Structure 1
Amino acid sequence: MAIPPDSKSEVDAIVETIIYLYTESRRLTKGMAAQFGLTGPQLTVIKLLEELGDLSLSSLSERIRAQNSTVTGIIDRMEREGLVRRERSTTDRRVVYIRLSDKGQKLAKNIQVEPMEIFRSALTSLTPADLAELLRILTKLRKGVLSFVEGAEAAAQGNSREEEP
């Protein structure tokens, strides 16, 4: 679907704002994490576990929007550094929970502000109606991007199969 010429500058401004917010969140996370000898993803994991408590690997992967294998690597390094522990569920042996260690809990308490909090704080200036509308629009945008990505991945897989002898 083509963008009407009179909407192009608005669409460009929206894309630039989304990119700015993403870039700024990464910059803030990386800078804050470095102060505590962590990577950005490790900081995110520590603050999530502090806020939500124990999480399964798949739950953690969903929350930080990363593949299980990627999160496994992050958790492996954090476990070696004594920041987290893996504990098998007592009700379902297939499930392993990630839990902050004492060292991880102390570190989490020392990190006063996290990047997500900066965005939460900025969002509090919006009215409840604006928040609901923003969530509705962002959810719609997310679905559109996901649909586009899935279509592109399916097309790429189709093309690679055509190239096989």
Structure 2
Amino acid sequence: MTVTAFRPRREPNEVARVTATAAELLEVLWGRASTAPASASQLRVLLILEHHERINLRTLAASLASTPPSTSRLCDRLQAAGLIEREGSQADRRAVHLRLSSRGRAFLADLRARREKTLQEVLDQMSAADRHALLHGLEAFCGVVTAQIHDDAEETGSQTA
């Protein structure tokens, strides 16, 4: 191996900085693919509901690090737009469960398709080796983040139970 081929490992703080920059660039890139009729906060609600069907308002508020009244207002707007549905609990009349409507699912599918198209245009300009390295790193990243979110949700659920 030649000295010019040697590349020192990046420090975790440098990787975090580059990852944060990539996330910010994605937001700019995806800004071209409108999220209307949902705001960024409402989009977060839709994404949470997609993965936690029939979540209650209190648990959703905790997931958003928000208050139940603020979360309820977000959900009011999403329900008015036809993107989510509320259903009462038969066990507890005060409890309300939230879920995506079919329109909400279609909205997320369309948004993802537009975002993927935009990303594909960028990826097409990268070498196969760079795409493979990116895929490998992102799969590892997503695995850790998914586990962390799952653990946080379980912890929040046990605190509200």
Range into which the TM-score falls when normalised by the shorter chain: 0.5 to 0.7
1:90 paired with 2:90, answer yes
The alpha carbon displacement at 1:110 in A equals 2.1
Amino acid at match of 1:124: E
The alpha carbon displacement at 1:59 in A equals 1.0
1:34 paired with 2:34, answer yes
Calculate the TM-score normalised by the size of structure 2: 0.53
The residue aligned with 1:49 is 49
Calculate the TM-score normalised by the size of structure 1: 0.52
Equivalent runs, 1:1-165 vs 2, <5 Å: 17=17, 20=20, 24=24, 27=27, 31=31, 34-112=34-112, 124-125=139-140
Amino acid at match of 2:139: T
Deviations 1:29-71 (A, max 9, x none): 9837734432011111111111221210011111121111111
Deviations 1:110-143 (A, max 9, x none): 23278xxxxxx855346x9xx59xx7xxx9xxxx
Relative contact order higher in (CA < 8 Å, ≥ 6 apart): 2
> How far apart, CA to CA, are the structure 2 residues paired with 1:88 and 1:122?
42
Amino acid at match of 1:31: G
Q: Mark the runs of 5 or more structure 1 residues left unpaired by the alignment.
A: 1-9, 115-120, 140-165
Over the aligned positions, Cα root-mean-square deviation in angstroms equals 4.0
- List, as ranges, runs of 4+ consecutive aligned residues in structure 1 with deviation greater than 6 Å: none
> How far apart, CA to CA, are the structure 1 residues paired with 2:71 and 2:32?
20
Amino acid at match of 2:82: G
How many positions carry a matched residue from both structures?
116
Amino acid at match of 1:47: L
> How far apart, CA to CA, are the structure 2 residues paired with 1:85 and 1:29?
30
Partner SS state of residue 87, structure 1? strand
Q: Mark the runs of 5 or more structure 2 residues left unpaired by the alignment.
A: 1-10, 116-135, 153-161
The residue aligned with 1:153 is none
The residue aligned with 2:129 is none
Deviations 1:94-114 (A, max 9, x none): 211112122112112223278
Partner SS state of residue 71, structure 2? helix
